[in-house]
Every structure is written in C-alpha cells, then in structure tokens.
Amino acid sequence: MQDAVAQASARLKAYTPDEVNALQGRELVFSPGGNTKINFGVEDFLMSFSIPNLHFHATTAYDILRHRGVPVGKCDYLGRMRIKS
C-alpha cells in the first residue's frame, strides 16, 4: 500500500503547474463502473466529487483505526500545520 501511495505521489509531482492549469474549463467523463458515465466540468468534478470523497475515506479510515484502539488523534488527521514563522 505504501508503495502505491509513493507511486501516486511521484506521478502527481511530475505535473507542472502549467499542465494542471491547462485542465481548467475542460470537460471530464467519469465512469464509476458498468455502463454508467457522468459528465463533469473538471472544477466541478474536483469540488463536488473528488475532494468530498477524499475526506469521506480519510475520515472513515481514521474512525476504523480509533475503533480498533490505534492511538490516533485530531493532529494525526490534520497533519503538519502551515504557519507563518
């Protein structure tokens, strides 16, 4: 699993800001399985599907870990805070 996360991270870091910004305003067809196809604008897909799903799954994993007695807390979920020095 850690290898898959590392590979995904490396692939994302390979994109330049210009490549990411070039996606703005484009259309995206999401196929969650079967013959289902859902049309999105790229920004709408990110804001109304991807980010909410990320938070749902992160929270669910956090809840399962807590339920099983793993000593994780809010700071583990939030990660390092980015503050001004």
Q: What is the extent of the structural domain holding 57?
A: 2-78
Q: Which residues of the chain have pLDDT under 50?
A: none
pLDDT, position 75: 86
Q: Give pLDDT, residue 68.
A: 97
Q: Is residue 83 one of the residues assigned to a domain?
A: no
* pLDDT in the model for residue 41: 97
Residue 13 contacts residue 20 (beta carbons within 8 Å): no
Q: Tell me the C-alpha distance between 52 and 57, whole Å.
A: 9
Report the CATH number that the domain containing residue 51 is assigned in CATH.
1.20.120.450
Is the model's pTM score more than 0.75?
no
